[in-house]
Amino acid sequence: MGAVYLDWNATAKVRPEAVEAATLAMQSVGNPSSIHAAGRAARATVEAAREAVAALVGVKAGSITFLSGGTEASNLAVESAVLAGCDRIIVGATEHEAVTESAKFSGLPVETCPVDGEGLADLAWLAEALKAGGRPLVCLMLANNETGVIHPMAEASALVREAGGWLHVDAVQAAGKMAVNFNALGADTMALSAHKLGGPQGIGALAAGPRATLSRRMQGGGQERGRRSGTENVPGIAGFGAAAKASLSGLETLAAQAAWRDAVATRLGNKARVLGAGAPRLPQTLCLSAPDFASDIQVMNLDLAGVMISAGAACSSGKVKASHVAQAMGHDDLAPFVIRVSGGWETTEQDWRRFGDVWLEAEARHAARRQKVA
């Protein structure tokens, strides 16, 4: 049987629409800042993509700044909030390192908003913390990259706005997998990444609302409305726009994977525990922990059988370590054994079934070896 790719939360397969759009852009000539015909054509490509990415999250095109990816987007959001007068930072306990490391680097006091056993932000804690005054920057991801758990963002936003704070939402995993409305969520800034939804790697965006003033990310010619200098990555932007448009129209199809995911979890029974099972989750994300079956061993066993998954997040230079998300949820005992299975726009029900077959076989072999050693 052919290989099965179930690590879409790490990076998605590039959509045919994105390949076509990026290829056409690469075959064309013209700097978007030039005023001749070729330059105007390149500018039109960039602005059409901006419209598509804006539509993905329900904002006006002028709210979108193209950057190198979700990491740069979150870095720019934190830097901008600090320069705009935020004097303290609150980050969710399960945030991506792009946010937590940027917060640490800011030099401001950083507090961590805890999550409950299902991975949901503790809004009672947040409400109390916001009473301390100052102008806080609050960073919460919309959907967790390991568990798929979706935070109650609108409720969190109401608390942040009442405190006069700035809410940054990391929507890198959520966009293209669930309906996202920037204004309904109450975000001030929102990070996006093309390669998580079927666009090219190395291109992302930051959406900013009227309450947010963005700082200059790079000095130079003043591209991206002065927010990020440097000639725009036209092929990457074109691919991002095409992927955004395709993913928006495919949300209903992707939602069908929730049933396939849950069927696999049922098959595994008490051999593995599902993290975040009691919370709203992305439809194509399954986070499991199997006692005494180390994450890296699970990943290698499945890889040898032609099924590709990951051990938690895949954004730490190839390192496999205990899941900080599981630890934040109060599951220290489960953290070393966490794996993540994630589907995407090309995933089939058979792919999910194949994962279940291969995992059960691998777990049985592992259990037999443990019993023999004992």
How many Å is the Cα radius of gyration of the chain? 21
Give residue 198's region: left, alpha or beta (phi > 0; psi -120 to 50). Answer: left
Count the Cβ atoms, other than its own, within 10 Å of residue 5: 20
* Inter-residue long-range contacts of 370-374, CB under 8 Å, 24+ positions, other chains counted: 370/292
Cα–Cα distance, 82 to 367 (Å, whole number): 51
Q: What is the DSSP letter of 280?
A: -
Burial label, 266 (beta-carbon count in 10 A; 0-12, 13-18, 19+):
exposed
Burial label, 120 (beta-carbon count in 10 A; 0-12, 13-18, 19+):
buried
Bridge partners of 287, per DSSP, are 340
- One of 86, 139, 287, 315 is an active-site residue; which one? 315
Cα–Cα distance, 166 to 208 (Å, whole number): 11
Cα–Cα distance, 338 to 126 (Å, whole number): 27
**86 belongs to the catalytic site:** no
**369 three-class SS:** helix
Max distance between CA atoms of the chain, in angstroms, equals: 76
Cα–Cα distance, 363 to 132 (Å, whole number): 49
Mind giving me the DSSP string for 213-264? -PPPSS-SS-TTTTTS-S---HHHHHHHHHHHHHHHHTHHHHHTHHHHHHHH
Active site residues: 315
